[in-house]
Structure 1
Amino acid sequence: MGEPKTPKFGSMEEELSFWKEQSDKHQQRAEEAQEELQEFQQMSRDYEAELETELKQCETRNGELLSNNNRLRMELENIQEKYEAQHSEAFRQISLLEGDLEETTAVKDQLQKYIRELEQSNDDLERAKRATIMSLEDFEQRMNHVIERNAFLESELDEKENLLESVQRLKDEARGLCV
């Protein structure tokens, strides 16, 4: 907004009145601008405090999520180790029993009673195998649930990082406005 052109005055009183009016207008604009600035500064402080509180809450939640994630990873590793040990043991037992079954078949006529016991043992192993397969399916379901949860946690972590970037940008803008 440029300064108005200075008019020609007929008397000193007219000129004095004109400049007094101009001074009052500029004084009023300056006061309004000062009030707006103070209002804006207070709003900025309030918003910054609110963002700081939200940031602390996000950081706390993130810490909890990371802790839960680490705990779940440890549980998953333990379950995997147990499963692998059980699977290896079951496979070893099945292999041993199959070898025994072949030997028993070779002496079938002499050991008919022993063969019936092995057949019963084989049925038990098949039940154990089915139970192991069911345990594996249950484990896979739990593992899928953990994977989904990890994906959810990673998504929340990405959202938190975006919020942190927004907070930093707003802080920088607020600092720029305060300067």
Structure 2
Amino acid sequence: MTDSFANAADEIEYYKNLARKTEDELHETRSMLEDFQLSSRELEEELEKEIDSTERRYNEIRIRNEAMKQEVEDWKEKYHQAVKESNTNINQLSRQLEVLKQQLADFIKTRRELEQENDQLERTERAATWSMQEITTKYDAAVERMAILENEVSTKASLSEEVQRLKDELRDANVELEIMKANQAGLERSNNSNNSSLYNGSTSSLAEGKTARPSIGSNYEAMPSLRARLANNSTLQRSASRQASSGSSATRAGGVGAGAVPGHNPVQVVQDMVGRVKSLEARLVSCRSLVTPLLQPPPSYSTTPSTGRNSWQGSQLSTSTAGSDNSRHGSPTATSPNALLGGPKVSRRTSLLLQQHLQQHREQREQQKLREQQRIMAMAESAIST
């Protein structure tokens, strides 16, 4: 090494540089050592802290592990207990299932029996409904027939009253006719008297004519109701009757206006009235022959309550028949023109009565059906509950 240096100064300089270099390396190494020591110290502190935290975590985990082991043991015990309970419950549920199956079979059998009973009840209901409808139809027919019969009875009563009234008026008209015939005979006898006493006889005849004419006019005017009814009848009958009534009205007017001719026109008017009364009597007989079958009680409805009504109607019918026979054997009878012309009014009133009866009967029938349905539902519910 000494050979490499030229002189000692170079060597010294070299070693000085080496010493400075080594010293620098030393300082650098020391600083690195200090840094290493500082970092190792920090690392040691961190490791100690980490060890402490790890020990704490270990202790916590160990404690948790022991707790979980204890919990596992508890859960095992609970599991075994639950298995035992589930087995017990399964056995109980199996027994209950068998019981429920038996009950279901009983319920199915009971339901079939109830369905059979329900079918029987439905058949009974249909039969009852059919019977009720038949009875309702018969009742409707009976109500209609009773309404018609009541109407006919009232019409018959009014006809009887009018017939009796017309009998009285006809008797009065016959009396007046006899009076007028007697007056006419007296006038004829006075006209056939002696020619020598013509002046005195004619004067007395005129006096008798004057006294007779007021009596005829008063007797003729004493029948306004008969003339009014005949006029109403003539205006509402058929065309032939209207022509006849117009002719009789003209004749009647001529008789009243020509009162100067004694005994001719009033007698014709009364005869015309008698003919019209006879025609009305014939119509009364024909109407009575039509009404008589309607007043007879039907044989299918001969019950106890209707027997009294039918017997009363029969007595009324026999009375009216006897009266008609007596009237045919006696003086001529006539019916009321108002009664004969009251057909439309009677029909309207009858239709109103029938509508009222039918409406009331429909309401009663609906209420009866509702009550029957409620009764059937109650029977079905009671059967199901039992």
The TM-score normalised by the length of structure 2 is 0.31
Structure 1 residues 176 and 52, CA gap change in structure 2 (3 angstroms): same
2:266 — aligned with what?
A: 142
Identical-pair percentage? 8
CA-to-aligned-CA distance 1:69-122 (integer Å, 9 cap, x gap)? 11111111111112212211221233x458xxxxxxxxxxxxxxxxxxxxxx59
The 2-side partners of 1:177 and 1:166 are apart by 21
CA-to-aligned-CA distance 1:3-44 (integer Å, 9 cap, x gap)? xxxxxxxx9999877766544433221110111112222222
* Candidates 165, 168, 177, aligned match of 2:292: 168
Equivalence map 1:1-179=2 (5 Å): 21-94=122-195, 96=196, 137-172=261-296, 174-179=297-302
1:3 — aligned with what?
A: none
Shift in Å at residue 177 of structure 1?
4.1
Shift in Å at residue 175 of structure 1?
2.6
State the SS of the aligned residue for 1:93: coil
The 2-side partners of 1:62 and 1:55 are apart by 10
The 2-side partners of 1:54 and 1:135 are apart by 40
Letter in 2 for 1:149: M
Aligned residues between the structures: 140
Q: Which moved more, 1:11-20 or 1:21-30?
A: 11-20
Shift in Å at residue 47 of structure 1?
1.6
Of structures 1 and 2, the larger Rg is shown by 2
Shift in Å at residue 53 of structure 1?
0.9
- Which consecutive residues of structure 2, in runs of 5 or more, have no partner in the other structure? 1-111, 210-257, 303-386
User: Is this contact kept in 1: 2:173–2:270, CA < 8 A?
Assistant: yes
The 2-side partners of 1:142 and 1:72 are apart by 11
The 1-side partners of 2:263 and 2:300 are apart by 56
The 2-side partners of 1:23 and 1:41 are apart by 26
- Which consecutive residues of structure 1, in runs of 5 or more, have no partner in the other structure? 1-10, 99-120
The 2-side partners of 1:140 and 1:51 are apart by 42
Shift in Å at residue 60 of structure 1?
0.7
The 2-side partners of 1:83 and 1:138 are apart by 7
Shift in Å at residue 159 of structure 1?
2.0
The 2-side partners of 1:146 and 1:177 are apart by 50
The 1-side partners of 2:259 and 2:138 are apart by 68
User: Is this contact kept in 1: 2:152–2:295, CA < 8 A?
Assistant: no
CA-to-aligned-CA distance 1:124-162 (integer Å, 9 cap, x gap)? 96xx79xx8x87845221111111111221122222222
User: Is this contact kept in 1: 2:184–2:262, CA < 8 A?
Assistant: no
The 2-side partners of 1:148 and 1:69 are apart by 12
The 2-side partners of 1:177 and 1:64 are apart by 38
